[in-house]
Amino acid sequence: MHKQMFVNLAVKDVKRSIKFFESLGYSFNPQFTNDQGASLILGENLFAMLLDEKFFATFTPKQLIDAKTHVETLIALPVDSREAVVALIVKAKAAGATTPTEPKDHGFMYQHAYTDLDGHVWEVFYMDMSQFPGASA
């Protein structure tokens, strides 16, 4: 159906957000990055637009929330291994993120989450469907 996905997130300081996500190993599309917003590349055709709160507000008549005290969304991103989950959480914490929950091991899925500098929750997970209950070997 869809060939791309863009998640729009309000941020207080675009430059600070860029620095945070670059420290996690992400990059930005300079074609869609300026003082009002930054196009965070999450994967092939997957992007998060980190938009200055005032600019973000021009796209909606609704009141913006404070993501540090209210949940707007949980952004879930798969990685290639349990070790990759742990590594990304370690990088995020070193860059100033917090972890709102303890890691969860569901057998077939291992997940952990971090909260970025603006309060958005990023769930990082590894899933091995061969370990899913009832999966045939």
Q: Structure tokens of 82?
A: 């349990």
Confidence of residue 2 (pLDDT cuts 50, 70, 90): confident
Question: Over the stretch 51-95, which tens digit does the pLDDT of each residue have?
Answer: 999 999 999 999 999 999 998 899 999 999 999 999 999 999 999
Question: Over the stretch 7-60, which tens digit does the pLDDT of each residue have?
Answer: 999 999 999 999 999 999 999 999 999 999 999 999 999 999 999 999 999 999
Distance CA 45, CA 85 (A): 21
Question: Over the stretch 89-130, which tens digit does the pLDDT of each residue have?
Answer: 999 999 999 998 999 999 999 999 999 999 999 999 999 988
At 49, which helix (H) or strand (E)?
A: strand 46-52
pLDDT of residue 1: 83
pLDDT of residue 132: 87
Domains and CATH numbers, the chain: 1-58 (3.10.180.10), 70-137 (3.10.180.10)
pTM over 0.85: yes
In terms of DSSP H, where are the helices of the chain? 14-23, 53-56, 82-94
What is the bridge-based pairing of β-strands 46-52 and 5-11? parallel
* Angular region, 93: left φ>0, alpha ψ -120 to 50, beta rest: alpha
What is the bridge-based pairing of β-strands 27-29 and 5-11? unpaired
| Neighbouring C-beta atoms of residue 60, cutoff 10 Å | 10
Supply the DSSP string of 99-129, one letter for each residue.
-SS--EE-SSEEEEEEE-TTS-EEEEEEE-G
